[in-house]
Amino acid sequence: MAAALPAPGVDAVALRASYLLEAGPVGSMPPPPTLRGMAGTAMKALAGKKMHVLLDRIAERAAFERTGVRLYDMMLQKVAVAPALPAGMTIEGVREIRDEEHSHYLMLAAAIETPGGDPTAMTPCADVTGVQGTGLVQAMGEPRLTIAQALSTLLAAEVIDNASWELLIDLANRFGQDELAAQLTGALAAEQRHEATVRQWMATALAEESGV
**Which positions lie near Fe ion, rule CB under 5 A?**
161, 191, 194
> Closest approach of Cβ 197 to Fe ion, in Å?
9
Q: Cβ closer to Fe ion: 96 or 118?
A: 96
Rounded to whole angstroms, the Cα distance separating 200 from 194 reads 10
Q: Cβ closer to Fe ion: 72 or 115?
A: 72
Rounded to whole angstroms, the Cα distance separating 110 from 132 reads 24
Nearest residue relative to Fe ion (C-beta): 194
> Closest approach of Cβ 113 to Fe ion, in Å?
22
Q: Cβ closer to Fe ion: 15 or 76?
A: 76
Q: Cβ closer to Fe ion: 51 or 150?
A: 150
Q: Cβ closer to Fe ion: 56 or 161?
A: 161
H/E stretch holding 80 reads: helix 51-81
> Closest approach of Cβ 135 to Fe ion, in Å?
17
48 phi-psi bin (left φ>0, alpha ψ -120 to 50, beta other): left
Q: Rounded to whole angstroms, what are the CA distances from 154 to 61, 137, 204?
A: 16, 10, 15
Rounded to whole angstroms, the Cα distance separating 62 from 109 reads 7
> Closest approach of Cβ 3 to Fe ion, in Å?
34
For residue 113, which of 30, 207, 32 has the smallest C-alpha distance? 32
Rounded to whole angstroms, the Cα distance separating 173 from 89 reads 36
> Closest approach of Cβ 73 to Fe ion, in Å?
13
For residue 118, which of 24, 37, 26, 27 has the smallest C-alpha distance? 37
